[in-house]
Structure 1
Amino acid sequence: MATQLYPSKDILYSPQASWFGDEASPMLGWYHPAKLRDAGGSRQCGVVLCPPFGHEYMVSYLAYRHLANQLARAGFDVFFFDYSNTGDAADVDVLTDRIGLWQENIRQAAAQLRKMAGVQHIALFGLRLGGLLAASVAHEIDARAMLLMAPVISGRAYAREMLVLRNMSSISDMNGLQADVDLDQARDPAHTVTDDELTGYEFSAATRSSLGKLDLLKMPAPAMPVFIQARDDVSGQEAKLVNAWYHHDHALHVSDLPGYAAMMTEDAHDTVVPMAVWAAMQDWLSRYFPLASIDSRPYAVTRDVASIAFNSQVIEEELLEFEGMFGIVSHQAGADPKALPAVVLCNIGANHHVGNHRLYVTLARTLASYGFHVLRFDKSGIGYSKATPDDRENDVHAAAGVDDVSSAMYFMQGKYHSPSFVLAGLCSGAYLSYMAGLDDERVSGLVLMNQLTYRWQEGDTIDARRKNTIKSSHYYLQALAKADTWKRVCKGQVDFPQIAGNMLRRIGKRLRTQWQLLVTSLTHNNLLLGRVARNFRNMEARGTELLLIYDASDTAVDVMTEQLGRHASLLGHSERIRLEIFNGADHTFTPRWAQSALADLISKHLHKRFNAASANAAK
């Protein structure tokens, strides 16, 4: 029953995605309204969740969503958002640094939450860099409480730590784009990892300099209650912070509950939400903001469409939901949705729809600038979409994923009258695209990037696949020429039995594909091909454009070779099949040059192929 106190079920229970901030540079935020009926009232306190930076943002995304839900159930209004130039937000051309911009973003998010929820008080939560940024503006936004999880204490030390990690990375020495694997090709200076990037994200000298000026130990002790959650993987500097803030007149609570390390994993698939930590934070915060009845509350007005400047064009991005799944459609302002196939981007592993280092955001907006309508969405169990039918999250290869892709195509047909579809994805996203495109006549194109499997069976696990996975043969040939490899061999740090066993299996599979190629050429009979090669040939025969993209050192190259032959020779020669191999891009195309080159390659290829197809059809 809708009343003034409970205006609608949607406002009470469903997180609301909305664009906010400046019209010229919008950000995406998720408003989690206080669940007044569950909590028994409102706490008249809104909590702004300030995200961390880079990879830490990606792996903690699911945990942030759970924290927002936890606090909303307790009667808090919550706002989780993306800083400018991160996540789904628009890029702002800041010539100096990002730190001042992100501090202003937190101020904007607090103002937005006050406007949407009508709350009297604001509290701030921040993880890692988000904690440092939150503390730096807490006084300015009149925050009444602060929750910090493993906060960055010194911006200068954090910047140094990030640079050390970058220099230790396997992508710190990169080569350029090439059409084939060629170990003798000279380095292209334009295709190197610059000093102003960090694991695929911009991290300029100006930003590092500005960050170095922030230090929690040098800030005045906050005049508000503070909850500090310590790290449980290494000894952090939380003790120093407690000593610096201990003598102020407000409550300072330190928690050593475990949960940080299990959340901050190398892969989003492995992240474990620290529910015990979230419960402790909720209990602590609730003591300072008791429940109270309210006479009325504003109805949250959301902005579903944003206009974003990109490559000298205006890209419109629409927020949408279909069958319990969230997505964003990018298209050029005024573009005809029926002129070209719609492009659907399928999740990279358990990462939500922005993709690793925002790869899908860059790709979607680049494709949109070429006239395509592009949907990046979260399948069941990822991001803000519903759970899978068996109520699981982060289930990367769930069988329901193929149905989700099909549902996405039906939605785009209904809303935009899309004539056909190009399915694109990286890693598990490539697998879902491949599976969804096998028998669906609506699929006129596939873009498969570093696809690691062509068959996922019940009982398979990512952990088991990882254990039995080694680098590509190309990688090991390169490694033999490096002195560091032999040092590791002498120290017993190289698992020769596993590598040798896998290499022998690869040789056997390659001999089989060579035999298939020979027999098929002599008999002109595709039935002698393996199942995967036949699937690709059948899709090509029905007119499907196939673009296969790999990094030369990725094991996906060997997986492809085992199924399709060297250089995909089992697929024959067709203008509808294109194979491209990058050198030095890594599995997720982390270097910024690789991201740009990849988006440019895919957009130009699809634009050329489907504009040519449209022209031929018109004749």
Structure 2
Amino acid sequence: MKPIVFGDRFGWLHAGTGARGIVLCSPYGHEDTWSRKALRTLAEQLCAHGFTVLRFDYIGTGDSADAEESNNIIDAAVDDVCAAVAKLKEDSRITDVTLCGFRLGASFAALAACRSFVNALILLAPIVDGRRYIRELSLLRKTWLDQLPAPIRDAQPDGGELNVLGQIYRAEHVAQLCALDIADAFESRRVPLADRSLILDVTSGASEKLHKTLRRLGSDTECRIFEGYSAFMQQTAFSVMPREALATVVNWASAGSMRQSPSARTPLAAARNAAPSIRTVHSVERPVFYGAPGLFAILCEPRGVDRHDSVLLIANTSANAHVGDSRLSVRIARTLARQGFASLRIDARGFGDSAPLPPDQMPSNPSDAIHSNGIVEDIARAAAWLETQGYADVVSFGVCSGAYATLRAALVEPAITGVIAVNLQRFYVPKGMALSSMNSMAGYASSLSDWSRWRKVFRGERSLTPIARAIIGHAAARLRSRLDNALDLRSDPPANDPRGVVLALQRKGVDTLLVYGELDAGLDQLHAQFGKHGRRLPNGAKVKVEVLAEIDHALLSPHAAAKVIERCEAFMQSRKADTIAAPGNWSHGDRSRAALLSEPVDLSEVGSAQCPTTR
């Protein structure tokens, strides 16, 4: 597969061997994040059967250019789909085109098929009733809000905009989606109908009106069940690949007969776009491969201003692609570019658009998958690669599991001189450990005044036992930490101990900012080891703590995302005035830079040091 840019839209071309092409239309918002891995897998499987496949990001999503505020999201997305179809027809040998879309992307594909002729149409769990879709989104938002601590939940705006796991739907967007009815759209189509259509429904009869409409208008239409949908459509780290549904799509598409022979035109993969880029007013973004074969990233560099020597390396959050939850990584990158700072948003191996892990290396435990040493190694490789590109000061950034990986990489990678770790859950996560989604101690305290929670307890819907266990465990951890400090029993803590991590960062001279929401569960370990808000960290420590109000763990609220982006800006601006140690002052011994680029990183190389005096 090769990256491609057309009309400010970023995409990937999987070049096949024949004259049949397929455009994949992704869903919208959180469903785009959750389904990216499956759609890439589908593209690869179709390509293996000879199809040339183009998958892409709509304007305003993913790595594509930002959208205008006034855009009608449906019309704009349909324009993007039509542009993708035209690109496939214009620049390749393709004479037979299929549109395949998932969820809202299926609706976009159907509407595009009413404006631009395609030979076949594949609609996966299509949104056929816009009002029902908005109700589903509203219910998901409510579920998310119910899981938040009361102060954070109460701070979320209510009315006007609809925030669904970070995707903001303005009032006009909601109105546009409520009016969506793709069955009716086919009645007024401008072009001949696709010869064949396949619909995979979540439940039997969900698309009955659409099915009947397509058949009545002359399209040979099949309707089947989307097997494995429920296990698939959940957070990326827990999502189960819908292999049966993907096989159904590949087999159905392959069974269709092609009416024309391949043309002699140059394949799109070998033509233009040898060095594609997305250009905004303030930035130029290029797809790059770093460190080792198959490792992918987007390098965002400032445009029109002087470039600073500092660069932000943005890690994956959980198992999500480099774009980030609610496009946070893209927003950080383009905001920093306005200030003259470059950034690299990476996919570790097995995530996003980097090479997949071999089956025998894929952890079965979701926590192992997102806290693996392999991710740490890839972040280290990315930092080393950035140094070869002329960046003397590499700051790594991550949220939750990404915070963990960037912190661990900073312990072993000489090029990393700064870290911004947001909502770090633990300083060390051993293999096999299951991180719970329990509340923090502060969150539990705030819940005591939340009568809606007490009503659930009185009705037997919620047990107090897990809360009691968490409080007892937290108290025990704090007591052990106090005893260790008082008796100085662990003056030389190992690197998997929180104090050992802080010591190693201090010794290496890594400026580290730990950012927490005031009710985040990650604060519990920090408080147990270093006192409230890190007040027992050593004087003059390189590791600093900042606690922010009304910040949800995944930064899905606009307020939380904006606050963290501000902290990134301030941290990077501070680098301009600081004197950065010359590269090589801290090294891996005799290991060369070339070796570091290609070899696994040994996390045991952190070493030891004396315990700092705590306040």
**Class of the TM-score when normalised by the shorter of the 2 chains:** 0.7 to 0.9
Equivalent residues of 2:384, 2:415 under 8 A apart:
no
Partner-residue secondary structure (3-state), 1:406: helix
Equivalent residues of 1:549, 1:579 under 8 A apart:
yes
Shift in Å, 1:295: 4.4
Q: 5 Å matches for 1:164-179?
A: 164-170=139-145
For 1:148 and 1:327, how far apart are their aligned partners in 2?
30
Equivalent residues of 2:232, 2:241 under 8 A apart:
yes
Which residue does 1:428 correspond to in 2? 401
For 1:93 and 1:286, how far apart are their aligned partners in 2?
38
Change (3 A) 1:147 1:76: same
Which residue does 2:68 correspond to in 1? 93
Q: How many residues align?
A: 565
- Of 275, 287, 307, which aligns to 1:304? 275
- Of 62, 65, 87, which aligns to 2:37? 62
For 2:262 and 2:183, how far apart are their aligned partners in 1?
39
Which residue does 1:409 correspond to in 2? 383
Partner-residue secondary structure (3-state), 1:476: helix
Equivalent residues of 1:342, 1:422 under 8 A apart:
yes
Partner-residue secondary structure (3-state), 2:145: coil
Equivalent residues of 2:387, 2:415 under 8 A apart:
no
Amino acid at match of 2:423: N
Q: 5 Å matches for 1:9-48?
A: 15-21=1-7, 26-34=8-16, 36=17, 42=18, 44-48=19-23
Which residue does 2:302 correspond to in 1? 332
Amino acid at match of 1:110: V
Amino acid at match of 1:74: H
Which residue does 1:245 correspond to in 2? 214
Answer yes or no: is 1:342 the counterpart of 2:311: yes
Shift in Å, 1:575: 6.6
For 2:450 and 2:457, how far apart are their aligned partners in 1?
11
Change (3 A) 1:307 1:238: closer
Which residue does 1:368 correspond to in 2? 337
Could you report, residue by residue, the CA deviation over 1:522-570 in whole angstroms, capped at 9, with x for unpaired residues?
Answer: x9x9547993223213322442111101122221111322333321133
For 1:425 and 1:577, how far apart are their aligned partners in 2?
15
For 1:406 and 1:336, how far apart are their aligned partners in 2?
26
Change (3 A) 1:391 1:169: closer
Answer yes or no: is 1:357 the counterpart of 2:326: yes
Equivalent residues of 2:149, 2:447 under 8 A apart:
no
Shift in Å, 1:17: 0.9
Equivalent residues of 2:311, 2:393 under 8 A apart:
yes
Answer yes or no: is 1:102 the counterpart of 2:102: no
For 1:364 and 1:194, how far apart are their aligned partners in 2?
30
For 1:174 and 1:110, how far apart are their aligned partners in 2?
46
For 2:210 and 2:146, how far apart are their aligned partners in 1?
35
Answer yes or no: is 1:229 the counterpart of 2:197: no
Partner-residue secondary structure (3-state), 1:561: helix
Equivalent residues of 2:21, 2:96 under 8 A apart:
yes
Shift in Å, 1:173: 8.7
Q: Tell me the percent identity.
A: 26
Change (3 A) 1:262 1:165: closer
Which residue does 2:181 correspond to in 1? 215
Q: 5 Å matches for 1:480-499?
A: 480-499=448-467
Q: Unaligned regions of 5+ residues in structure 2, if any?
A: 188-192, 583-615
Partner-residue secondary structure (3-state), 1:376: strand
- Of 330, 353, 375, which aligns to 1:384? 353
Partner-residue secondary structure (3-state), 1:555: coil
For 2:539 and 2:159, how far apart are their aligned partners in 1?
38
For 1:413 and 1:334, how far apart are their aligned partners in 2?
22
Q: Unaligned regions of 5+ residues in structure 1, if any?
A: 1-14, 37-41, 176-182
Change (3 A) 1:174 1:210: farther
Change (3 A) 1:138 1:174: farther
Amino acid at match of 1:31: L
- Of 187, 206, 213, which aligns to 2:172? 206
Which residue does 1:8 correspond to in 2? none
For 1:193 and 1:368, how far apart are their aligned partners in 2?
32
Change (3 A) 1:256 1:531: closer
Amino acid at match of 2:478: R
For 1:371 and 1:491, how far apart are their aligned partners in 2?
56
For 2:487 and 2:533, how far apart are their aligned partners in 1?
18
Amino acid at match of 1:511: L
Equivalent residues of 2:310, 2:572 under 8 A apart:
no
Bigger relative contact order, structure 1 or 2, given CA contacts below 8 A and separation 6+?
A: 1
Change (3 A) 1:62 1:357: same
Equivalent residues of 1:50, 1:125 under 8 A apart:
yes
Once structures 1 and 2 are overlaid, which stretch shifts more, 394-403 or 200-209?
Answer: 394-403
Answer yes or no: is 1:397 the counterpart of 2:397: no
For 2:59 and 2:160, how far apart are their aligned partners in 1?
21
Equivalent residues of 1:193, 1:592 under 8 A apart:
no
Amino acid at match of 1:506: H
Amino acid at match of 1:401: I
Shift in Å, 1:101: 1.1
For 1:193 and 1:332, how far apart are their aligned partners in 2?
36
Which residue does 1:473 correspond to in 2? 441
Which residue does 1:503 correspond to in 2? 471
For 1:455 and 1:576, how far apart are their aligned partners in 2?
19
- Of 461, 469, 481, which aligns to 1:513? 481
For 2:104 and 2:135, how far apart are their aligned partners in 1?
13
For 1:378 and 1:282, how far apart are their aligned partners in 2?
27
Partner-residue secondary structure (3-state), 1:354: coil
Amino acid at match of 2:60: N
Which residue does 1:556 correspond to in 2? 522
- Of 535, 540, 543, which aligns to 1:574? 540
Amino acid at match of 1:362: R
Answer yes or no: is 1:544 the counterpart of 2:518: no
Could you report, residue by residue, the CA deviation over 1:116-148 in whole angstroms, capped at 9, with x for unpaired residues?
Answer: 323112211111111111111202111111000
RMSD: 2.8
Amino acid at match of 2:247: A
Equivalent residues of 1:546, 1:576 under 8 A apart:
yes
Which residue does 2:284 correspond to in 1? 316
Could you report, residue by residue, the CA deviation over 1:72-128 in whole angstroms, capped at 9, with x for unpaired residues?
Answer: 111111111111111111112232532211111111111222233231122111111
Change (3 A) 1:158 1:361: same
Equivalent residues of 1:122, 1:143 under 8 A apart:
yes
Amino acid at match of 1:32: H
Could you report, residue by residue, the CA deviation over 1:389-442 in whole angstroms, capped at 9, with x for unpaired residues?
Answer: 65438832222222211211222122x211131111111111111111113332
Equivalent residues of 2:94, 2:263 under 8 A apart:
no
Which residue does 2:577 correspond to in 1? 612
For 2:231 and 2:23, how far apart are their aligned partners in 1?
23
Amino acid at match of 1:424: F
Answer yes or no: is 1:269 the counterpart of 2:237: yes
For 2:353 and 2:581, how far apart are their aligned partners in 1?
41
For 1:68 and 1:223, how far apart are their aligned partners in 2?
21
Which residue does 1:7 correspond to in 2? none
Change (3 A) 1:531 1:614: same
Equivalent residues of 1:325, 1:380 under 8 A apart:
yes
- Of 133, 147, 162, which aligns to 2:122? 147
Amino acid at match of 2:471: M
For 1:261 and 1:528, how far apart are their aligned partners in 2?
45
Q: TM-score, normalised by structure 1?
A: 0.85
Equivalent residues of 1:45, 1:289 under 8 A apart:
no
Partner-residue secondary structure (3-state), 2:317: coil
Answer yes or no: is 1:452 the counterpart of 2:425: yes
Equivalent residues of 1:192, 1:593 under 8 A apart:
no
For 1:517 and 1:341, how far apart are their aligned partners in 2?
37
Change (3 A) 1:277 1:585: same
Equivalent residues of 2:312, 2:396 under 8 A apart:
yes
Equivalent residues of 1:325, 1:385 under 8 A apart:
yes
